[in-house]
Amino acid sequence: MVGPFKKILHAHNQRFPPSSSSSLDPVVDDSSRKQTRIILSYLLHLSLSLHITYSLCLLHFFFGSSNPFSPMEESNNSAVVDFPDNFMDQLLWEECWEEEATQHDQALSSPSGLKERVACAMGHLQEVMGERELLIQLWVPVETRSGRVLSTEEQPYSINTFSQSQSLALYRDASAGYSFAAEVGSEQLVGLPGRVFLRRMPEWTPDVRFFRKEEYPRIGYARRYQVRATLALPLFQGTSGNCVAVMEMVTTHRNLEYASQLSTICHALEAFDLRTSQTSIVPASLKVTSSSSSSSRTEVASILQGICSSHGLPLAVTWGHQDSSSCLSALISASYAADHGSRCFLAACSEHHLLGGEGIAGRAFATKKQCFATDVAIFSKWSYPLSHYAKMFDLHAALAVPILTRGNRTVQFVLELFFPRDCLDIQTHSLTLASQLKLRFQSSPHLMVDDNQIAEEVRDAATPPLTQEDPKGKQVSFSFSSASSLENRKRKTKAEKDITLDTLRQHFAGSLKDAAKNIGVCPTTLKRICRQNGISRWPSRKIKKVGHSLRKLQVVMDSVEGVQGSLHLASFYSSFPQLQSSSSSSFPFINPTQTVHVPPKSPPSSSGSQSSSGSSTCCSSEEQQLGGFQKPALSHPQLLTLSSMHEDQRPVRVTSSLPPLPSATTPRKAKDGMKVKAMFGDSMLRMSLLPHSRLTDLRREIAKRFGMDDVLRSNFSLKYLDDDQEWVLLTCDADLEECIQVYKSSSLKETIRILVHHPLSRPSFGS
């Protein structure tokens, strides 16, 4: 009777190998319970078989045989009953195994069956990956009161560590306290598992510290426990295409080879009846169309070689696509990389697709327009999948140019050109490169560059544009913003569109803050609306700036011997006509070329004239425009006195040696630029802001001076102290220009005060 029992246990061990991981206790308990059920089933069948045997013995006894188990020979038309030696083994084996096979088939489709296969797959992956420090955990959708969420609590996980560090175990405990959205429109955090589950596409990064907090809510724990690279895969069961879970793999070091390891991981999962995304994860060999032949790619590579060499570009990536696809893949043979970092980034490009307008290359492909970005490294992961690699290899400004086919003018390639790291004037360089590309492609028989385009700037997206297939197979786009925030954003955009130039004119007489309060927006929003309407400076500030300069000039004039009291420049500002609400385009500003002369003998007067010579001592302001309208000369009588004089009655020019007069638009120190005092925590430093510097240059210099690492470089923010003693955020070059103009035109000190803020640092508000 021992034979059947050994066979059953042997078959069970083959189908359900015992797990060696101590972290998979629920799986081990289930296996033990199954073995117990098998033994009980065997005992039940044993008792039944004994009962049958006893009955046969009685029958045989009545027929007169002395040996009930001996063969019965045929006699008197009676049948011969033959019991083979392995009769009991066959009986118990077939009945018991049929029942267990049915239970196993049901278990494969149950949650516990999924856990068993994932647990076995985790152990196999630990061997295949060969990582010394690796955490693998499972995120499964569960139903809660707030809806369907992804949770890893009480789910199988596996930790492989060869050190005494408990960082991965602690990170596992921290992850168990999180839950992420498992359905569209959920109010839960999305995070990495949520994005992978909803998009049903893998996602990985060489370093999680490059994520923003809203992209990776566990970023604080990741920094604390030295977590670096991570990979998240959607798991599918059967052929239904439904995502049933997300497998996350976490390491304590940077990993640039996840893409190359994905095929190995997929094969390991398939051995346990688990599948990942059917979408091609790594673009293998892109099958280009006939028009995109090898000769065309050779031509593009030759042109890029010349452009990059002549302009000192570190990297140029050529993106191609298949006929009926909006998916872009990098063509390595038609690309250019100048250094090691650029080659590493190019290798990362070869392992990623750009989908649905991602990055400036995807945007250029979708719109057929040239696009540029001042810093692609600050883009979010959902806006530009390669942003983390751009941070790693110090790539920032870039230009994307679509290459069209002659005739049907369809986009055949997209060239993504990265500017030198010390390039400042991105827009000017973009125009130069686009012009050079146009000239070089003029001789091409098949390819061309649109000559009627001006590159537009691409900024980072505010919300993740994720897609999910509906039951009909169509792509459905959605974002994770709640309905209320989306409605508020729409309402805010509509309110900004309702504020026209005529509405702004009605508030020109007052200050910017008063105008913002009356219109019903914040000052920052009003500044943005003004810039959209071509107004770079609020008019009342311009008038005050000129008046401040004239008052300084009055002090200088009074210090000249013999002309005390002969000229009162304060009347220029005091006699200014009040700005009225008007729809006319005439605004009472001083003519940009007006000059003021000192009359030694004429009676005191305030006058001005238009000068035809640039050698006279004058107070002139650089030509400004407001909303695209030209500013005519003033018609105020007091200001027209000098122009109506006879030539021999006009004042005599003063040739005395005077100190240089301040200019409203010239930096106070032309060589050194503006002085900057930056504060970061308890530290403070002084530096110079050179003319024409951009915000990226300022951020890079501040990060360098304070010795920030890669994480701090990508997450800190800057604020400046304005003339209202308020800290204003610096987010773009326009904000930096506004900051400089505020310091130039106000009574603030010459040094710009900047506050450096980081989420992990203590706030500092210097005096």
Label each residue of 111-145 as H, E or C: HHHHHHHHHHHHHHHHHHHCCCEEEEEEEEEEEEC
Beta bridge partners of 720: 728, 754
Q: Which CATH number fits domain 674-757: 3.30.420.40, 3.40.50.300, 3.30.465.10, 3.10.20.90?
A: 3.10.20.90
- Between the ranges 110-119, 451-460, 674-683, where is the mean pLDDT highest? 674-683
- Structure-model confidence comparison of residues 671 and 182, the more confident one: 182
Per-residue pLDDT, 171: 92
Residue 14 has pLDDT above 60, yes or no: no
Neighbours of 603 (CB within 10 A): 6
Per-residue pLDDT, 636: 42
Per-residue pLDDT, 714: 67
Per-residue pLDDT, 507: 81
Q: Which residues contact 258 (CB under 8 A, 6 or more apart)?
A: 204, 206, 229, 231
Q: How confident is the model at residue 18 (pLDDT cuts 50, 70, 90)?
A: very low
Terminus-to-terminus CA distance in the chain, angstroms? 91
Per-residue pLDDT, 426: 81
Residue 630 has pLDDT above 50, yes or no: no
Residue (of 87, 100, 104, 120) closest to 8 by Cα position: 100
Report the C-alpha gap between 687 and 702 in whole angstroms: 9
Phi (first) and psi of residue 653, to 5 degrees: -75, 145
Angle of CA points 395, 397, 401, to nearest 5°: 115
- Structure-model confidence comparison of residues 583 and 714, the more confident one: 714
Q: Each residue of 253-280: pLDDT tens digit? A: 888 777 777 777 888 888 887 888 745 4
Start and end residues for every CATH 3.30.450.40 domain found in the chain: 114-270, 294-457
**CA distances in angstroms from 217 to 191, 411, 443, 757, listed in the order given:** 6, 38, 52, 19
pTM of the model: 0.50
Q: How confident is the model at residue 430 (pLDDT cuts 50, 70, 90)?
A: confident
Phi (first) and psi of residue 610, to 5 degrees: -90, 130
Q: Which residues contact 704 (CB under 8 A, 6 or more apart)?
A: none
Whats the size of the chain, residue-wise? 767
For 294-457, which CATH class? alpha beta
Q: 114-270 domain in CATH 3.30.450.40?
A: yes
Considering the chain, what is the average pLDDT of its residues? 69
Residue 523 has pLDDT above 50, yes or no: yes
Q: How confident is the model at residue 564 (pLDDT cuts 50, 70, 90)?
A: low
Per-residue pLDDT, 218: 93
Cα within 13 Å of Cα(327), Cβ side:
16
Label each residue of 270-326 as H, E or C: HCCCCECCCCCCCCCCCCCCCCCCHHHHHHHHHHHHHHHHHHCCCEEEEEEECCCCC
**CA distances in angstroms from 61 to 66, 69, 72, 174, listed in the order given:** 7, 11, 12, 73
- Structure-model confidence comparison of residues 517 and 536, the more confident one: 517
Report the relative pairing of strands 411-418 and 398-405 from DSSP bridges: antiparallel
Per-residue pLDDT, 758: 74
Q: Each residue of 723-765: pLDDT tens digit? A: 777 888 888 888 888 888 888 776 666 788 898 887 655 444 4
Beta bridge partners of 686: 677
Handedness of CA 602, 605, 610, 611 (dihedral sign): positive
Q: Each residue of 195-224: pLDDT tens digit? A: 989 888 888 898 998 898 888 999 999 999
Task: Dig out the tokens for 364 from the structure.
Answer: 């250029």
Q: Each residue of 444-468: pLDDT tens digit? A: 888 888 866 666 777 765 444 444 4
Report the C-alpha gap between 416 and 372 in whole angstroms: 9
Phi (first) and psi of residue 179, to 5 degrees: -140, 145
Report the C-alpha gap between 206 and 303 in whole angstroms: 32
Q: How confident is the model at residue 123 (pLDDT cuts 50, 70, 90)?
A: confident
Start and end residues for every CATH 3.10.20.90 domain found in the chain: 674-757
Characterise 347 by phi-psi region: left (phi > 0), alpha (psi -120 to 50), beta (else): alpha
Q: Which residues contact 137 (CB under 8 A, 6 or more apart)?
A: 152, 155, 156, 157, 158, 172, 175, 247, 248, 250
Question: Three-class SS of residue 381?
Answer: coil
Report the C-alpha gap between 404 and 664 in whole angstroms: 47
Q: Each residue of 296-355: pLDDT tens digit? A: 888 889 899 899 988 889 999 999 887 667 788 889 889 999 989 899 999 888 888 887
Q: How confident is the model at residue 538 (pLDDT cuts 50, 70, 90)?
A: confident
* Cα Rg of the chain (Å, integer): 39
Per-residue pLDDT, 21: 40
Per-residue pLDDT, 747: 60
Task: Dig out the tokens for 358 from the structure.
Answer: 């991602």
Q: Side chain identity at 319, as an amino acid letter? A: W
Report the C-alpha gap between 221 and 169 in whole angstroms: 12
- Structure-model confidence comparison of residues 186 and 191, the more confident one: 191
Q: Which residues contact 83 (CB under 8 A, 6 or more apart)?
A: 69
Q: Which residues contact 680 (CB under 8 A, 6 or more apart)?
A: 702, 706, 716, 756, 758, 761, 764
Handedness of CA 456, 445, 321, 323 (dihedral sign): positive
Per-residue pLDDT, 35: 60
Q: Each residue of 39-85: pLDDT tens digit? A: 666 666 666 666 666 666 655 555 554 444 444 444 444 334 444 55
Per-residue pLDDT, 221: 92
Beta bridge partners of 249: 136, 231
Per-residue pLDDT, 761: 54
